[in-house]
Structure 1
Amino acid sequence: MDSLTDDLWALVLAKLPIRIFTCFKVVCKQWKSVMESPFFRKHFVSMHENSSSSSSWLLMSTDGRDAIMDYYHQCDIWGLKRPLSSFIKSALNDKNPNQKYLDVKVVAYSDLGLILIYAISKIKEKSSLYVANPVSHECVEIFLDPLLEKSQLCIPQWGIATRVDENDILLSFKVVVVNRGLSGAMLNCLIYSSETGMWSLDNTPFSKYFFTESSISLNGNLHWFAINKDSQDFLISMDLYTNSTSSDRWRVSHFPDLEKTIKFDRSCCRTPCHGFLMYINIVSTTKVDGSLEEKLCVWRLQSEGWQLISQISPGSILTGDFINYAPLTINPFDAKTAYFWSEKQESMLYINLHTGKSLTYNQFELTSNRRTMIPAHDPRAVISLKNTCVGLVPFVLPQWLYRIPNMVAVRRV
């Protein structure tokens, strides 16, 4: 074995799952050097770039406690033998078995596999904030600014954004908390940087907008749904790593169907393997003869605005006056399969966004707690029966292990 060169070791080790890479690094200096090399990372990613069926992703409710839809498939890339949601729930408790928490919840997810945990301990109800990788169990604590103490927070909206270099190494992260008043309007925005270990107050030009959902993290940006005083929907984006001034890092995007009749409440889907934010809805358009036609439309957010990338007939199951289905998400890896859920009928609808073909599944096996069920056709998915279409947050495991960078003024757990 000592005669094997670094490139041969890279070819061998790349066949093993990500979760045990951390252990491999302490075997010997050669293995550590191999696994930290750009060649090893590029080779591993190229081996698994088309392995969407072996990847893990889920939708979480915004309270951070329940997985709505959990695809794990034993996750060959990461080596998971149980659903991803179970790792998220134990990310903090496994590190602090002696710590008693009054409340622990995940408040934000990054596109590189990190989660943001807000915890209140039973000791004097002290608040704590953690950034963690739920699978590797790497976890760091961030000190809280006095403005972020429990008594100072009204209705906070959290977010976490990350920055990588040309070698795809995670350099830093930034935590954002938008503090809203009881009316929903923004009170202030605080940003924590792992590079400085400090919080800073940011001035936003959208203080009178109402933030309605949790943030979506993608490519160093955070995105929120917002409503203005005229009850119009917008997407507000924040570029955390721009070199521009504070006001220039904020951007508002008008939805492309604001003037049209739509079927569903607006929501966006993140496809991190493609690096895009996507929006889907059924839109009524007027034909040449004056009659109305309904199309299932998919847009992709570009720097210049929304780009229509798909427009298909949704079929009779999603048209008409009474629709029992609501969109859940778009497959984050292939970006071509849309998932719809009917709580009334307890059935799942899959639609191919390229061909328009659809499949409906209503055969499920209830789990022991009778709150979740597993589709009989697809044992990879676990679907919750609770709040299935309210406040969903996407979380996708990346195809590489991004280590939390060294930080200033933080305490590793």
Structure 2
Amino acid sequence: METGRRRTIPEVEILARLPLRSIARFKSVCKRWKSVIESDYFRRLFGSFHRSSSTSWSIMFRTEYLREMTQAIGFHGCKTWDLPKTLVSYIMPFQEYPNLPTSEYYYIASSNGLIWIDVFVSRIKNKVYSYKSFVGNPVLQEWVEIPQPPNPWVQDKHPWYPSPYSGVGMVTRVENGVVSSFKMVRTVQMELIDRRDEGMYLWRVCVYSSETGLWTFKQVFSSRPVHGGRVDSPVNLNGVLYLWDRYLFSNGPGVLVAHDFYGADDQCQVIPLPGANDEHEHEHDDEHEHVRRCLTTSGEDVIFIEVIHRILKAWRLHNEKSERWQLIWEVVMPSFISDVNCFPLAMNPFDTDIVYLWDRQHGCLVSGYLQAQEFIVHQESEDGSSSEGDCCRVNTSGTEGYMEERCDGVLMLSQFVLPSWMDSVPRPPN
């Protein structure tokens, strides 16, 4: 018979088994607990207990003028965070300006659990809005106000007010599993210049770095133009922004213009999308009028999806220039899905087996499980969202509002994915 006392589980180990939403509240109990929770040891201990748990995510539309912030589909019931509601519901009402109309909040971009929003707080002379930019984690209600970028036109008599669409995107740097810094990118101008006797497009941007707390101007060169004012958010992964471009009057897939904002190079990569044919890209092909495409990410991969006449194909981007894209799926979709009005929206942020589509003909969102070739139609509920399981929310009416006018191009929705640890929002040194 064992006579020794049963080992007492330390309070730190008990705390590490809780979800992050609960742990965040314990940080304010006392300085000792705050110090313990913010230690590397506690973060590793928490990770060991929650290794098999997923995290919360949301697939968002970038906010258009006078539209409300809209989530297409999201998952919030993970054990890592234990959220009782969807991620978008934590953004509004915004704690700094709780009485503003929801149409005055613009979701610009997201990267590794941080989101960038512009808040239009007042109207001033000449019908120009005064706005403020914030980057933060809405679940933790931790926000950093970003200073306004400098005026690029020093000689201009009129002040420069970038529109909400001048914000291009955001990238982050992750070190040891923690977001250590972020950069925000705003387009200033784009013009064709002559450089070394070769025609190059100049993409002039203003970049904010959390490491310095400053905006700096940067000139980036590309053999294809960069349209930084597009409605869709560019895809970002590992510090790189991927923007889409296509020749005017072309029905082909076009190219990606990619730039690493943590790198030292001033050149963009131009990456042809699968199926692109430079020789015939200007030709008008009726067959291509019904092709629906999207660019998304899943895990550590950039994914390109194409749907035409119920044939769904998905490719993974490779770093090898000789073979940029690897075909990972080719699936025939069932007959109940529209053959010409089915738009791929995104792939699951963690599982390349799951894809999300919008069937415009029937006004519904569809989940596709590609390995099993099973497709599920999500119906609208009375409150404007439907629940798939207890933790997945589908916004059919909101998605319909954004998708009713889409016809071609490459759709790029923003993935707001919470990290597996409650990183503090990076701030510049005091």
The TM-score range, normalised by the shorter chain, is 0.7 to 0.9
* 1:277 counterpart letter in structure 2: V
**Are positions 1:74 and 2:77 aligned together?**
yes
1:34-73 deviation digits (Å, cap 9, x = unpaired): 3223333233334434333xx3222222217333423234
Superposed, 1:83-162 pairs within 5 Å as 83-90=86-93, 93-97=94-98, 103-110=104-111, 112-122=112-122, 124=124, 125-147=129-151, 151-153=160-162, 155-162=165-172
Question: Displacement of 1:388 after TM fit?
Answer: 4.6
Superposed, 1:7-406 pairs within 5 Å as 8-52=10-54, 55-63=55-63, 65-90=68-93, 93-97=94-98, 103-110=104-111, 112-122=112-122, 124=124, 125-147=129-151, 151-153=160-162, 155-165=165-175, 167-179=176-188, 188-206=204-222, 208-211=225-228, 212=230, 213-228=232-247, 231=250, 233-242=254-263, 244-247=264-267, 250-259=268-277, 264-271=291-298, 274-282=299-307, 296-304=312-320, 306-317=324-335, 322-355=339-372, 357-361=373-377, 363-367=379-383, 372-375=384-387, 380-385=392-397, 386-389=400-403, 392-406=413-427
* 2:257 counterpart letter in structure 1: I
Change (3 A) 1:34 1:376: closer
Q: Which runs of 5+ in 2 are unaligned?
A: 1-6, 153-157, 192-200, 282-286
Distance 1:408 1:402 in 2: 17
Q: Is the 8 A contact 1:366 1:373 kept in 2?
A: yes
Change (3 A) 1:324 1:140: same
Q: Is the 8 A contact 1:363 1:376 kept in 2?
A: no
1:329-362 deviation digits (Å, cap 9, x = unpaired): 111122211122213213333322334x122325
Q: Is the 8 A contact 1:208 1:229 kept in 2?
A: no
**Per the alignment, in what secondary structure is the counterpart of residue 406 of structure 1?**
coil
**Per the alignment, in what secondary structure is the counterpart of residue 83 of structure 2?**
coil
Distance 1:70 1:396 in 2: 12
Distance 1:100 1:381 in 2: 24
Distance 2:326 2:204 in 1: 34
Distance 1:361 1:101 in 2: 29
Distance 1:135 1:63 in 2: 19
Distance 2:340 2:248 in 1: 29
1:150-196 deviation digits (Å, cap 9, x = unpaired): 8443651421111122x2232211110124679xx976311111112
Distance 2:35 2:235 in 1: 34
Distance 1:210 1:9 in 2: 53
* 2:142 counterpart letter in structure 1: E
**Per the alignment, in what secondary structure is the counterpart of residue 147 of structure 1?**
coil
Stretch moving more, 28-37 or 55-64: 28-37
Question: Displacement of 1:270 after TM fit?
Answer: 1.8
In structure 2, the residue matched to 1:289 is: none
Change (3 A) 1:388 1:208: closer
**Per the alignment, in what secondary structure is the counterpart of residue 293 of structure 2?**
coil
Change (3 A) 1:40 1:332: same
Root-mean-square deviation (Å)? 3.5
Q: Is the 8 A contact 1:328 1:339 kept in 2?
A: yes
Q: Is the 8 A contact 1:57 1:84 kept in 2?
A: yes
In the comparison of the two structures, how many residue pairs are matched?
Answer: 378
Distance 1:407 1:348 in 2: 42
Distance 1:279 1:72 in 2: 22
Q: Is the 8 A contact 1:68 1:388 kept in 2?
A: no
Distance 1:98 1:85 in 2: 17
* 1:265 counterpart letter in structure 2: R
Question: Displacement of 1:82 after TM fit?
Answer: 1.4
Q: Is the 8 A contact 2:105 2:117 kept in 1?
A: yes
Question: Displacement of 1:281 after TM fit?
Answer: 1.4
Q: Is the 8 A contact 1:103 1:121 kept in 2?
A: yes
Distance 1:351 1:100 in 2: 36
Change (3 A) 1:264 1:296: same
* 2:220 counterpart letter in structure 1: T
Question: Displacement of 1:316 after TM fit?
Answer: 4.4
**Per the alignment, in what secondary structure is the counterpart of residue 365 of structure 1?**
coil
* 1:31 counterpart letter in structure 2: W
